[in-house]
Amino acid sequence: MEFMFERISHCLIATLLASASVLAAQSSDIPAPGVQAARAGAEKARALVQEEARAVQSIDRFAVSHQVDVTSATPHYNRTTHAYLKTWVQRPGHIRAESRQYTRSETIVSDGSATWVYDGGNRTYWKQKGGAPAGLFSNAFPGLARKLGSANLPSVMTSARLAGTESLTIVGRSYPCDIVDVSVVPEASENMLQDNTLRLWISRDYKVPLKVEANFVGGAPPDHRKYSDYVTDFEPDLNFPASTWTFQPPSGAKPGTGTTEGHSAN
């Protein structure tokens, strides 16, 4: 499980008196009010998901921190793990991403011409030519990975539904959000996403996801995992010093051998 996360009123009596055939024609051409409202809501929800996918690939000059909580429930135990991520972005090409989970930590820094990857667990770093992969930029905000990543959701979405609205408070500031339930093709999660649906809180002001929730099932023994990824700090429209995009190996760190395979820069 590495995918860590929708009126027209009619006078029916008059219509019936006028002509049963006219009623039939109207019934086939004009949806009932409830159907119309549901259709309009679904269209708006799909548009929000498409807009969100564009936003995560274009928003510029920001820093964002978010926390990922994964609660695993099996017949024998319940356990919650936490991961913490912070990303600074200045397009084109500039990114710094720091992550921490348990005793593990990783830092990725790129100025567009070179990319550094530092594994804090074994105090090893690599340097490679070229910029960081595009996925690292679009994954700066809460979301899942691979085919379920925010930028890719429109391509695997089968339907979307407006589930309500909520204002999320982040460091004392309120961010109004639309809540959208997104249904996806089962193959996108290898049939592990419960009901093939995940939930997004999409910022009305910035169009990016500020919170994502999903449930995964499967495995042997049976395992249920609740995934919650939410922004804890958001600073848009920043100007960064040049030092943000430089990497100085910590004292005692050693250069790695081979490639960065297995690390997020790939």
pLDDT of residue 245: 97
pLDDT of residue 223: 82
Tell whether the model's pLDDT for residue 181 goes beyond 80.
yes
State the chain's mean pLDDT as an integer: 85
List, for residues 224-259, the tens digit of each pLDDT value: 999 999 999 999 999 999 999 999 999 999 999 865
pLDDT of residue 33: 64
pLDDT of residue 31: 57
pLDDT of residue 162: 97
Between residues 125 and 78, the one the model is more confident about? 125
pLDDT of residue 102: 85
pLDDT bucket at 32, cuts 50 / 70 / 90: low
Tell whether the model's pLDDT for residue 199 goes beyond 60.
yes
Instruction: Catalogue all structural domains in the chain, each as residue range(s) with its CATH number.
Output: 59-247 (2.50.20)
Mean pLDDT of the region 89-115: 95
Give percent of the chain with pLDDT exceeding 70. 82
Q: Give the separation between CA 50 and CA 71, rounded to whole angstroms.
A: 29
Q: Give the separation between CA 254 and CA 51, rounded to whole angstroms.
A: 43
HEC string of the chain equals CCCCCCCCCCCHHHHHHHCHHHHHHHHHHCCCHHHHHHHHHHHHHHHHHHHHHHHHCCCCCEEEEEEEEEEEECCCCEEEEEEEEEEEEECCCEEEEEEEECCEEEEEEECCCEEEEEECCCCEEEEEECCCCHHHHHCCCCCCCHHHCHHHHHHHEEEEEEEEEEEEEECCEEEEEEEEEEEECHHHHCCCEEEEEEEEEEECCCCCEEEEEEEEEECCCCEEEEEEEEEEEEECCCCCCHHHHCCCCCCCCEECCCCCCCCCCC
Tell whether the model's pLDDT for residue 202 goes beyond 70.
yes
pLDDT of residue 236: 95
Mean pLDDT of the region 128-149: 93
